């Protein structure tokens, strides 16, 4: 399915209006109490052995193991199940999951700000991470190294932590998980130990089933098989407990249903809140410039861009002429091959252009390293479009596995409408498991130029995630 709902990808104001227009049906409110106990795994403490050289250490279990204290959390949240969305309200903050517009809005009750991002952030990260775990697990099994039954690789714990089944693992999902029911009590076991219990209540109406599935998926860490079996009963869950391991910790979670009620309509969740962005995000500055303006971005025209380039040629500013054409291409997605070819033919003998063009497509690591060095040697002080060189450097640095984000961002600081740079920056972030920054970059690209051709790769990624993990959408 092609991800084509443009309203979900423009400013939060448009999203706000669309959401409010369809939020009048009866909703179900459920008040829960969450209790979480987290046990830290013991770690060896290095202790210097008495009477010996300080370069000799002892990790004897009798004195070298330090157990961190158990952490206990208790909180209450009210979950509102609506038509195509659910809303979780806690003491200081709340979250709206809107599946029709594929957006998530996070509300801060203290600052009265809300942030918004793509629903794909969660599934995108988990899909990437679980494939990485499966690959590493296979490698370790083949070479006979590591404990593939640790929480990092154990198929049960991974499925709980990430909400997905590890691919190509024949023991998943139900073969090793046993289910037993005693009256209204469901019990699930893994390797002979009870890992989840659910006390069932009254019947759950079919109309609320889809959103209850999303609540269990997004707000708990249940194994997918356990989640599916609980949902199949089509009943309220009055009490739920489950255990799993993740990141060297053991989690014991208890969820109690305290109250439930029905209301004829929902409030305007956005009323009294203003759109804001995470100041700690590397994209904060460009988000402020681009996303807070509800008007469509005014893109340069072909005539204006190539008119400027020709003037620069006439002024013998040949490198700037080339960079102006490149800037137009990266902003609009219009390759304008004939017009671009005319400019290139007039600048091709320029020494700096020769250096740049020789660096654009390195064929080996050695060539890429030299290209990066050559580009860094070009003086930008006399160039009006010198910031465009940061894009070429960034793409080469990315190919070498280096952190290229600062280079991409340096170009965007000069021109926040470089659609192609947002596209490449998003891919760079995603390759480093930063799915939040990745989709924020792609949202910026879509805001600047929704029809940008290279964004098709993002559409394909989102379509693949929907196909493989439809439950998230």
Residue in the structure block whose two tokens are 């029709």? 100
Classify residue 322 by burial, with Cβ atoms within 10 Å: 0-12, 13-18, 19+.
buried
3-class DSSP state of 397: helix
DSSP state of 299: P
For residue 173, cis peptide bond before it (omega within 30 degrees of 0): yes
DSSP-derived pairing of the beta strands 65-66 and 93-98: unpaired
Rounded to an integer, what distance in angstroms lies between the CA atom of residue 365 and that of residue 369? 6
3-class DSSP state of 267: coil
What residue spans define the domains of the chain?
A: 6-286
Q: Alpha helix locations (H) across 360-434?
A: 365-376, 389-399, 405-414, 419-431
Within 13 Å of residue 83, how many CA atoms lie on the same side as its CB? 12
Strand partners, 47: 58
Q: Please, what are the averages of pLDDT over each run of 10 residues along the chain (473 residues)? A: 33 43 72 95 48 40 57 95 95 94 96 97 96 85 68 84 78 67 95 94 95 97 95 97 92 97 90 96 97 92 97 96 98 96 95 95 96 95 96 97 97 98 98 98 98 97 96 97
Angle at CA of residue 219, ends 209 and 161, nearest 5°: 115
Report the run of H or E that residue 177 belongs to, with start and end.
strand 177-182
3-class DSSP state of 203: strand
CA distances (Å), 352 to each of 184, 307, 327, 383, 407, in order?
A: 77, 22, 17, 11, 20
Q: Who contacts 51 (Cβ-Cβ below 8 Å, separation ≥6)? A: none
Q: Is the pTM of this model over 0.75?
A: yes
Report pLDDT for 47.
Answer: 41
Q: Who contacts 459 (Cβ-Cβ below 8 Å, separation ≥6)? A: 2, 3
DSSP state of 291: T
**b/e per residue, 367-406, with b = 16+ CB within 10 A?**
ebeebbeebeebeeeebebbbbbbbbbbbbbbeeeeebbe
Report pLDDT for 69.
Answer: 72
Q: Who contacts 61 (Cβ-Cβ below 8 Å, separation ≥6)? A: none
pLDDT tens-digit series, residues 39-72? 986 554 444 444 443 344 434 444 455 556 789 9
Phi and psi for 224 in degrees, rounded to 5?
-55, -40
Rounded to an integer, what distance in angstroms lies between the CA atom of residue 368 and that of residue 400? 7
pLDDT tens-digit series, residues 359-411? 999 999 999 999 999 999 999 999 999 999 999 999 999 999 999 999 999 99
Rounded to an integer, what distance in angstroms lies between the CA atom of residue 278 and that of residue 111? 12
Report pLDDT for 263.
Answer: 87
């Amino acid at each position: 399915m092609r991800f084509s709902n443009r309203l979900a990808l423009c400013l939060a104001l448009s999203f706000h209006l669309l959401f409010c227009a369809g939020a009048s049906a009866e909703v179900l409110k459920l008040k829960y109490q969450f209790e979480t106990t987290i046990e830290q795994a013991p770690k060896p403490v290095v202790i210097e052995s008495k009477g010996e050289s300080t370069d000799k250490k002892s990790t004897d279990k009798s004195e070298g193991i330090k157990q961190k204290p158990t952490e206990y959390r208790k909180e209450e949240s009210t979950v509102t199940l609506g038509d195509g969305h659910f809303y979780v309200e806690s003491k200081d903050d709340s979250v709206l999951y809107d599946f029709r517009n594929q957006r998530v809005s996070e509300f801060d009750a203290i600052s009265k700000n809300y942030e918004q991002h793509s629903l794909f952030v969660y599934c995108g990260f988990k899909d990437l991470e679980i494939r990485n775990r499966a690959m590493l697990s296979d490698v370790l099994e083949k070479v006979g190294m590591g404990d593939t039954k640790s929480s990092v690789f154990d198929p049960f714990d991974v499925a709980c932590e990430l909400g997905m089944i590890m691919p190509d693992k024949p023991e998943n999902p139900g073969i090793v998980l046993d289910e037993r029911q005693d009256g209204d009590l469901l019990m699930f076991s893994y390797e002979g130990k009870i890992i989840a219990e659910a006390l069932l209540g009254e019947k759950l109406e079919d109309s609320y089933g889809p959103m209850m599935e999303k609540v269990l998926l997004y707000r708990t860490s249940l194994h997918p098989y356990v989640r599916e079996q609980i949902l199949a009963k089509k009943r309220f869950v009055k009490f739920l407990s489950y255990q799993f391991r993740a990141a060297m910790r053991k989690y014991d979670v208890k969820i109690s249903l305290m109250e439930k009620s029905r209301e004829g309509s929902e409030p305007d969740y956005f009323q009294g809140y203003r759109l804001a962005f995470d100041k700690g995000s590397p994209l904060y500055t460009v988000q402020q410039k681009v996303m807070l303006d509800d008007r469509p971005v005014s893109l340069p025209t072909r005539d204006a861009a190539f008119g400027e380039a020709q003037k620069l040629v006439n002024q013998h500013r040949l490198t700037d002429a080339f960079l102006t054409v490149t800037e137009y291409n990266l902003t609009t997605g219009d390759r304008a091959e004939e017009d671009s070819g005319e400019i290139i033919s007039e600048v091709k003998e320029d020494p700096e252009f020769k250096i740049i063009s020789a660096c654009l497509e390195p064929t080996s690591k050695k060539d890429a390293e030299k290209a990066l060095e050559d580009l860094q040697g070009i003086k930008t002080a006399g160039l009006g479009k010198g910031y465009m060189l940061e894009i070429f450097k960034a793409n080469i640095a990315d190919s070498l596995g280096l952190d290229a984000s600062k280079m991409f961002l340096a170009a965007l600081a000069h021109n926040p409408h470089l659609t192609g740079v947002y596209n490449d920056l998003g891919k760079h972030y995603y390759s480093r498991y930063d799915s939040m920054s990745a989709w924020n970059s792609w949202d910026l690209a879509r805001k600047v130029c929704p029809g940008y051709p290279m964004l098709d790769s993002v559409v394909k990624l989102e379509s693949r995630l929907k196909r493989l993990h439809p439950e998230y959408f």
